[in-house]
Amino acid sequence: MANVARDFFIGLSNNQFLNTRAKKWGFFLGADKFVAGTTIQSVMKAVKELNARGISCTLDNLGEFVSDKTEASQAKDKIITLLEAIHQENVDCHLSVKLTQLGMDIDQNYCMVNIREVLDAANKYGIFVNIDMEDYAHYEQTLDILSVLRRDYDNVGTVIQSYLFRAEDDLQDLQDVRIRLVKGAYKESAEVAYPDKQAIDRNFVTLAKQRLLGSAFTSIATHDHHIIDELKAFVAENHLDNDQFEFQMLYGFRNDLQQKLANEGYHFCTYIPFGDDWFGYFMRRLAERPQNMNLIVKDVFYT
């Protein structure tokens, strides 16, 4: 049953008609609980509130299915304006970016020009840029682009998904790169990814422990308190340095736990999406946790 719900919401997340319509309709279904408005101003307000509570942030200018250069170029300009705002407002915040938004599906060289412009602006202000990992169809291209970028920039990293069989090998190659470790949000074939949740969770813990014993910074991105507790115990047992890692969660999820981890002295970073292209992001969140439907029901009936 859980798999049926997951497939249903992932199917919706890929529906281009609904994605385009939702941009025009604006937020509904309670999406505003998980997306910090549509403007740089609205997301900055959310960042300042979290910073005031000891939580740092990473910002995602939402965007899916970018298939023409005008749209990709507009996205790049907005991201650079966002970097300028982060600098001017002097907030504790970095950037998360999806390469398809910068034109990876149009032309790899064109995407490379765009991401270099973004990284140049970020470098100028000393801001780290994380390249989000999308579905497996974009995986190798993303790692290829990263390896070229790493020759010229050290303010860039990416995401590795523990549902992929190859995650451990890829992390070996990325030992000196800042990485966000996640379970993986897309529907992938059993040829490349573990189909069952237990195996994905186990692999997440194994990979997180390997990273924690290494030297590069790791963002441990999960809402799973069992895993968080296990990793906290591992850090304590091995006398590891809290400055080598942070926990990350998505905006609007488990706010109490986010604050608790920050209060306990762990580095904590909230991933904040914003923008009008919210539909695909929101459907993937429902795919992960259909219980979030409760929020929708409340939103529809009680507001």
161 binds ligand FDA (CB under 6 A): yes
Interaction with ligand FDA in 279-298: which residues (CB under 6 A)? Answer: 288-289
Site residue total, ligand FDA (CB under 6 A):
21
**294 CB-side CA count, 13 A:** 3
Token output for 94: 């970095």
250 contacts 211 by C-beta, under 8 angstroms: no
User: Applying CB under 6 A, does 250 fall inside the site for ligand FDA?
Assistant: yes
Any contact of residue 184 with ligand FDA (CB under 6 A)?
Answer: yes
Cα angle at 26 between 250 and 115, to 5 degrees?
A: 55
- Is 254 a binding residue for ligand FDA by CB under 6 A? The answer is yes
Site string for ligand FDA, 94-133 (x = CB under 6 A): --------------------------------------xx
Active-site residue, 116 included:
no
Query: Closest by alpha carbon to 82, among 99, 95, 100?
Result: 95
30 binds ligand FDA (CB under 6 A): no
* Segment (H or E) for 221: strand 218-221
Structure tokens given for 99: 């390469």
DSSP string for residues in 48-109: HHHHHTT-EEEEEE------SHHHHHHHHHHHHHHHHHHHHHT-SEEEEE-GGGGTTTT-HH
Q: Looking at 17-25, 42-50, 120-128, 179-187, which segment touches ligand FDA (CB under 6 A)?
A: 179-187
Q: Does 87 bind ligand FDA (CB under 6 A)?
A: no
Annotated active-site residue 180? The verdict is yes
**Which residues are identified as catalytic?**
132, 180
- Site residues, ligand FDA (CB under 6 A): 132-133, 159, 161, 182-186, 221-224, 248-250, 253-254, 271, 288-289
